[in-house]
Each structure stands twice: as C-alpha cells, then as structure tokens.
Amino acid sequence: MGQRVDFSANAPVYDRRHGAVLASGLAECLASGGALQRGARVLDVGAGTGRVAVAFASIGCNTVALDPAVPMLSELQRKALERQVRVVAGEGARLPFAGGSFDGVILARVLYLMSDWQVVLRETYDVLKPGGCLFHEWGNGQADETWVQIREKARALFQDAGIDSPFHPGARTEAEVEDFVTKLGFGRCTELPVGPGPGMTLRDFVGRIASGELSYMWNVPKQVQESCLPQLKKWCEGTFDLERSVPIPRDIHWTIYRKEAV
C-alpha cells in the first residue's frame, strides 16, 4: 500500500469543509457527459463521506463507494438513507472487482492524497468496461493561487525541518494526471466547469493550517509545528494581504475521460 492521507479522525467534520452531497443537477450533467444510463454501475474510489457517490445514487446509478477509512464510510451510510450505495472498505490501488465491472469510475479530489496514484489509475482502467468513463475532479488548486503558495511554503518549511513527505503525497498537478491517463488509453471527452470554491480570507486559511483542521498538519510532529508555524505566519504577513478573501480553489471543474473501446 502506498502512502495516503487518513481522514478517519476528520469524518465528523469533513462535510463542513467539502459539502455534504454534490448537487443532483451536477450529477445529472456528469452522467449525461459520460453517456451513463439509469442503472449504470458506478464506482467511487476514495468516496469519503459520499459527497459524490450519494449524488450518483440519487439519479439512479447503481453505485459502489470504496474508501480505506471506515469512519468516513459510516458517515456515508448515515447520509445515504434509502438511497442504494454499497460501501466497501478498501484501497484504490487494490480494487476488489473483476475487470470490466463498471460503466463509470469516479476519482474526486483524491489523486493528490495517494503516493501510488498511478497504480490507482491503472486499477481504474482495468475495472472499467471498454467505452466506460472516468470522472475526475482535481480540486487542489493551481500554482499561481495565493492559498496554494501558502500551502507549498508550509510544505517547504516542514521538509527543511526533516519531514520528507508532510502532506499530499500524490500527484502535484492536474497536468500530471492528464498525461498519465492519456498514456493509459483514455481519451478526453469533455470538461464540466463548476465555478469557484468557497471564499476565505488568507488569514483564516493560515489559521486553519495552524489549528490542525487541514490535513497539512496531521503527519507533522508537534515540535516541528512549533518551529515552523511562526516562520510560516511571518512569511505570509510579509508576502500577502491576509485580509483578502480568495476562493479555495479558484476553479472547480470535472474532466471526463473515456476508455477506448476494443
């Protein structure tokens, strides 16, 4: 198993930051873009609390939600109510399904959390039927966004303090993902824009890092936090207007890729 971020302890508050369930209208647009029919078999890898899986189930997809964090799946089951979502505790790098089992696979905001993200994509390719679709949402921002620059400064400080991989051990850019899925044999179908993420002042963003709410701090020892956080705050104060509100992320969109038909 590769390195990944464990959200088990964050399960009760996860929806507050990321939203409880994708809007049904967006799920319908995604399904239409992927030419999914009612009853299509869909797998959500790294499903978490079911933000996407529950939405796909609500529009009639036969949905399986897979995640290694059992507390996240428990939140999903509580939220799903009468909607049919089958939950499976497991790893995206070792999918417990036969080849060609699914019409669609969802990878939403997870590939930057997995060091073995390329293995996960290979597994995704294998379990998709020929002509099936991969629905990918990035959500980790772009290098020119100020909140990303703050996050990457925190990473650099932690690494300088001896923490090899403090957070987000997976894909660094969406372009990396696109390049790899193309080499696997996926063709890009369409991109579905959603708009900006929720607004937050940069000061609040730094405060959430310092408080440990964000996953950036979870693998960083306390003594390293105490050494690096004052440096981060000082750098931020000298570099940015911390009272400025920015969307996090600036742009949310989904990209749909289709597995080549045999």
Q: What is the CATH number of the domain that holds 42?
A: 3.40.50.150
Domain coverage including residue 179? 8-142+168-197+251-259
Residue 210 maps to a domain = no
C-alpha count within 13 angstroms, C-beta hemisphere, residue 181: 28
Residue 91 covered by a domain:
yes
Kindly state whether residue 235 falls inside one of the protein's structural domains: no
Q: Which residues contact 144 (CB under 8 A, 6 or more apart)?
A: none
Residue-averaged pLDDT of the chain:
91
Residue 102 within a domain: yes
- Write the pLDDT tens digit of every residue in 114-139: 999 999 999 999 999 999 999 999 98
Instruction: State residue 80's pLDDT score.
Output: 81
The pLDDT of residue 213: 86
Please name the amino acid found at residue 244: R
Q: In this structure, is residue 209 part of a structural domain?
A: no
The residue whose two tokens read 């696997």 is 184
pLDDT per position as a tens digit, 148-173 = 999 999 999 999 999 988 998 899 99
Whether 18 has a pLDDT exceeding 60, the answer reads no
Hunting for tokens 């009853």 — which residue is that? 39
Token code pair at residue 84: 């049919």
Q: Is the pTM of this model over 0.95?
A: no
Model pLDDT, residue 1: 54
Quick check: is 158 in a domain?
Answer: no
Which one is predicted more confidently, 79 or 183?
183
Backbone angles phi, psi at 251, to 5 degrees: -140, 125
Computed from CA positions of residues 96, 98, 103, 109, in that sequence, does the dihedral angle turn out positive or negative?
A: positive
* pLDDT band at 24; cut points 50, 70, 90: confident
Phi, psi of 20 (to 5 degrees): -75, -50
Preceding amide of 249 cis, omega within 30: yes
Q: Does the residue 162 lie in any domain?
A: no
Whether residue 161 lies inside any domain: the answer is no
Q: Which tokens hold the place of 17?
A: 């930051």
Say how many domains are in the chain: 1
Q: Which residue has the higher pLDDT, 79 or 244?
A: 244
Residue 104: φ, ψ to 5°: -150, 145
Residue 12 clears pLDDT 60, i.e. is over it: no
Tokens representing residue 199 in the block: 């607004």
pLDDT of residue 35: 96
Q: Residue 23's pLDDT is what?
A: 81
The larger pLDDT score, comparing residue 214 to residue 7, is at 214
CA atoms within 13 A on the CB side of 221: 8
Q: E strand or H helix at 27, and its extent?
A: helix 24-33
pLDDT attached to residue 215 = 87
